[in-house]
Structure 1
C-alpha cells in the first residue's frame, strides 16, 4: 500500500511546491511594480542613410535591490508563470505616460516599438485594453509598433491571428521579430499584416555566417521589398556590418555599435 501511495504523495508535494513558487514569483512581481523596480529603456533604430534616429524599441530591466536583471533573466519565468502579459501592459502604460509628458519636438513623432507576449495577445479584451490606453494619451496609433516573434506568428491560433488583425485594423504597426535565415518560412508571414521585419545582420568579415546565410539574407530583403515591408537589421556590433546593410539596400539598423539601450526619459529628453 505504501508503494502505491508514495507516487501520489510525491505528485501532491510537487504540485504544492510549484504552486508556492508561482505565488512567490507573483508576489515578487507585484512588489516590483509597487516599488518601481522595473526600469524602462529605449534602444534606437538608426536610419543609416540620413544619419538620424528613426524609431526606438522599448526594453525593460528589473532592478531588484542591488541586482540589475536583464530581460532574459526574468522574462522566461514570468512567461512560465503566465504573468508576462501584465508586464507588457505595464511597460506600454508607463512608456506612454513618459511620452505624453515629454516636451515635444521629435519625441511627438518618433515611432516606439513594444514587445508583446503570447499571454497578453491571448488575454480577453487585449485589443480594447491597448486601444483605450493609447487613445487616452492621444497618441497616433501608427507610431506604436508591436513586435511579435516570428515563431509565435507561425504557431498562432485562429484567435491570436484575429487579435493581431484587430490591432492592425486599429492602426497599430505589426513588426515580425527574431526572423530566421529561412526565406521559405517568410511566406508564412504573408497571412499577417506585417509592416516591418527584424533580421540579424550578416557578419561578412567576422565569419559568423556562411555564404548560404548571406544569400538567404539577400533573398529575405528582396522578398520584403516585394511585399512593401520595412527591413530592420539588428544585432549590429561592427562598422563593416553597417556597410554590408547599406550595400544590401537596408538603411534601418539597431545594435550596440550604433547605440546601447538608455533610460527612456533620457532618450526622450535628448531627441
Structure 2
C-alpha cells in the first residue's frame, strides 16, 4: 500500500548527506513529500537525490553549512523555488564535539554550539518566517522537528560539550514551541540513543565501543529504523496537537 500521508508537502532536511539525515530524506519521500536535502558535502547529496528520484520521488540538493548564518535563508529560498513552500523542517545537522573538559579546544566547543545550537535556532527561525509568509502556518501544516539526543538528558563521559549542546536543543525546542504556539507551528524534538551510523561505526567496532554496548541494559545498538514512526508522527497530521514534546527513543540506554 502506497504511503501518501505527506503528499503535497515540502520538507527541508539538514545534515542530509549521511546517517540519519539520509534515512529521514528517504522516509519523507516515501510518504509523498518533496524533499530538499541540505548539507556541506554536496557530492554525497547528489547521490542521495539520484536515489530518491530513481524511486519516483522529487528531491533537490542544497549546499548549506548551518554554522554560516548568512547561508541559511538563501538555502531555504533555493529549496522553495525548486519544490514549493516548505512545511516541514528536520533540524538534523550536528557535530559530536567530543573531548574531556580540561583539554577540549575552545574552537571545538564553539564549533559544536555553532552547529548544534545556533544552527538549529537560525534554521528554525528562517524556516518559520517562510512558513508564515506562505500561509503554511495558518493552514496548520507547519512542522519543525529538532534532532536532540539522550545526551541532552544524561551526562556522558568525555562529551560534556556535546551533552550541553543537546540539552540546549531540548530547551530551545520548548522555548520556540511556546513562542510560536499561537501561530499554529508545531515544534518538537526526538532524543535518540545510540544508533550505529557512519559517525560512530569505528568507535563501536573498537574494544572500548564494545564495552560501552555491554553496559547498555539491552546490550545492543538500536536499528536504523528506530526513529521512523516518531518522525512520521511529528511531521504528520497528528502533530497538530503536539508542540514542545521531546520523544525519547533510546532502548533504555540512559537507564
- Using the size of structure 1 for normalisation, the TM-score is 0.29
Q: Which one has a larger percent strand, Structure 1 or Structure 2?
A: 1
- Using the size of structure 2 for normalisation, the TM-score is 0.30
Q: Which has the larger radius of gyration?
A: 1
Q: Which one has a larger percent helix, Structure 1 or Structure 2?
A: 1
